Copies of this chain bind each other. A is one copy, B any other.
Amino acid sequence: MTISTTIRRGGRRRGRGDAAASSLAQPAWQHVTNPYQPMALFSREELDQIDATSMRILEELGIELMSPRACDVLERAGAEVDRSTQTVRMDRGLVAELVAKAPTEFTLTPRDPGRAVRIGGNSVVTTLVAGPPAVHDRINGRRASNLADYRNFIRLTQSFNAIHMIGNQVAAPIELAANNRHLDCYLANLTLSDRSYHCTSIGRGRALDGIEMMAISRGMTAEEMIGDPAVTTIISVNSPRRFDDAMADGLMAMAEYGQSVCVTPFTLMGAMTPVTLPAALAQQNAEALFGIALVQAVRPGCPVIYGAFTSNVDMKSGAPAFGTPENAKANIASGQLARRYGLPYRATPSNASNAADAQAVWETMMSLWGCVLGGCNLLYHSAGWLEGGLCASYEKLVMDVEMLEMMFAFLEPTKVDEASLGFDAIARVPTGGHFFGDPHTMARYQTAFHAPMLSNWQNHEAWVAAGAEDATTRATGLWQKALAEYEEPAMDPAIREALDAYVARRKEEIGAGEP
């Protein structure tokens, strides 16, 4: 019996034990880069046509910019502002001039410089899911977002090396006052993790608090962080063609302090854009470039990110759909557009499933591959997203970490040289034999392949004997283990005191609001 027959028919005897299958053993924190040529969905000429349509949108139709201050900034920069409708029109020369001031890459440095992230070029950075109003896990069920879950999700981020940054309010603590809960979130981000995070940009105050608190944690002032950024924000355009007041003000606050701004039109084809992908991309492109131009008008050279979130609705029901084939295409094409303007690129692996199940995975994988093939730099919402972003899921977070680590392994370059071509090993092993004990194998086997955390490779009998748990059930074991083993990163007590004092002072200034 050959080794191949042994393995195929019954040889999976030494299946990983139960303990190993739920191990948190994971690759070290790493700066991930994408070594492959990005995929081209469109030809150069097709991109020219999309770009030309974007420029017509900005020149002929304009963008409604609901912040008078922001209108002033762009008027001074040379845009034409219709004050009666708050419509801003920019010609393509001005757009190009302003966008060209943006850096192609930048680094965000949080309190632990070892957790700095590089955004742009061929780097790949991930974040925790942002914004869901609900939370779910298999033990406690579905519930409204709250501070206890918020803190747990930050602990899980800290526990898993595949999550590089914290997004905007993973599980907004809605039991707290709406006007100051962002302070509790920033405090959790800074004390329970050492990662960079997202500043809430609904208005100027929330953004500045995020900047100030990050500065305190770094032992710097907010002014000293200009030119040495640490945080980011997402400006979600109200597509079609509208920037609201609060978002524009948040954007300007971030730009004044030289912190990074990602401008992301949320464009579901059929609802916020036409049903056709080229039209959706032309509109997304116009809106994203408009916001980026505004950032550059506030502070030339301020770090920005070209954000894309083009998916589609179900035209039978109007329901939003994520991780569709059309979304995968948009993720690839948006990368072509971002690179056209030399901008770092953000997109999102997403899904519309109501459960952390097989659908959640095929939709996530569809959009994740679109992101990676599109040369995406910032995979926003890449851990924990469920229900089209309306629910943060503990199990899905673990499953996403598994998929991200697989993708990181795929992105490791493969070295071709005499040693890896292994002719001598092939010559040593007889026909029909096996390579298990060969010196070439023995010298490399411990690191030769990616070792997953959650995938179970036991044979069927061993899997049944161990309880026949499916992947979602095993994920429950892993997040529980991660929380049980979690260790808070050390922080200088003086910094901790200063953060607490900042939060107390700001809560007093803001006053007690309604939950």
Residues of A within 8 A of B (CB): 2-5, 7-9, 11-16, 20, 36-37, 39-42, 46, 49-50, 53, 56-57, 60-61, 63-64, 87, 133-134, 142, 236, 238-242, 266, 268-279, 282-283, 312-321, 324-326, 328-329, 333, 352-363, 365-366, 369, 373, 387-391, 399, 402-403, 406-407, 409-410, 412, 414-417, 419-423, 425-427, 429-436, 438, 440-441, 444-446, 448-451, 454-460, 463-464, 468, 470-472, 475
Query: Would you list 10 pairs from A and B whose C-beta atoms are within 8 A, ordered by A residue?
Result: A8-B389, A36-B39, A63-B431, A273-B435, A274-B441, A324-B406, A329-B414, A354-B460, A361-B362, A362-B406
Most central of A36, A274, A366, A470 by chain B CB within 10 Å: A274
Contacts of A450 in B (CB 8 A): 324-326
Contacts of A409 in B (CB 8 A): 324-326
Q: Chain A interface secondary structure, helix, strand, loop or mixed? A: mixed
State whether A353 touches B455 (Cβ < 8 A). Answer: yes
Contacts of A356 in B (CB 8 A): 358
State whether B399 touches A358 (Cβ < 8 A). Answer: yes
State whether B402 touches A362 (Cβ < 8 A). Answer: yes
State whether B15 touches A448 (Cβ < 8 A). Answer: no
Contacts of A353 in B (CB 8 A): 455-456, 471
State whether B325 touches A238 (Cβ < 8 A). Answer: no
State whether A314 touches B16 (Cβ < 8 A). Answer: yes
State whether A463 touches B354 (Cβ < 8 A). Answer: yes
Report A175 CB to chain B, min CB distance, Å.
19
Report A484 CB to chain B, min CB distance, Å.
23
- Among residues of B, the one whose C-beta sits closest to the C-beta of A441 is B275
Given known A-B contacts A457-B321, A458-B319, A275 and B445 have beta carbons under 8 A apart: yes
State whether A271 touches B4 (Cβ < 8 A). Answer: yes
Report A272 CB to chain B, min CB distance, Å.
6
Most central of A389, A425, A470 by chain B CB within 10 Å: A470
State whether A416 touches B242 (Cβ < 8 A). Answer: no
Contacts of A391 in B (CB 8 A): 460
Report A332 CB to chain B, min CB distance, Å.
9
State whether B468 touches A354 (Cβ < 8 A). Answer: yes
| The 6 A-B residue pairs with the shortest CB-CB distance in the complex, in nearest-first order | A279-B422, A365-B365, A325-B409, A274-B422, A275-B448, A64-B431
Most central of A16, A356, A420, A464 by chain B CB within 10 Å: A420
19 new A-B contacts at CB < 8 Å, known A8-B390, A56-B423: A7-B320, A8-B388, A41-B414, A61-B427, A63-B431, A240-B432, A270-B445, A274-B438, A276-B440, A282-B426, A333-B414, A353-B471, A357-B471, A358-B361, A358-B470, A358-B472, A361-B361, A361-B365, A362-B455
Given known A-B contacts A362-B406, A421-B282, A449 and B326 have beta carbons under 8 A apart: yes
Given known A-B contacts A315-B446, A457-B352, A420 and B358 have beta carbons under 8 A apart: no
Report A38 CB to chain B, min CB distance, Å.
10
- A109 and B165 CA atoms in complex are apart in Å by 54
- A399 and B13 CA atoms in complex are apart in Å by 28
State whether B449 touches A321 (Cβ < 8 A). Answer: yes
Report A426 CB to chain B, min CB distance, Å.
6
- Among residues of B, the one whose C-beta sits closest to the C-beta of A57 is B426
Which residue of B5, B9, B431 contacts A241 across the interface (Cβ within 8 Å)?
A: B431
State whether B402 touches A271 (Cβ < 8 A). Answer: no
Given known A-B contacts A275-B449, A414-B329, A457 and B282 have beta carbons under 8 A apart: no
Report A9 CB to chain B, min CB distance, Å.
8
Report A77 CB to chain B, min CB distance, Å.
21
- A210 and B134 CA atoms in complex are apart in Å by 57
Contacts of A430 in B (CB 8 A): 240
- Among residues of B, the one whose C-beta sits closest to the C-beta of A358 is B471
Contacts of A407 in B (CB 8 A): 325
State whether A406 touches B366 (Cβ < 8 A). Answer: yes
Report A398 CB to chain B, min CB distance, Å.
10
Contacts of A366 in B (CB 8 A): 365, 406, 410
- Among residues of B, the one whose C-beta sits closest to the C-beta of A267 is B4
- A446 and B275 CA atoms in complex are apart in Å by 10
- Among residues of B, the one whose C-beta sits closest to the C-beta of A41 is B414
Most central of A36, A275, A438 by chain B CB within 10 Å: A275
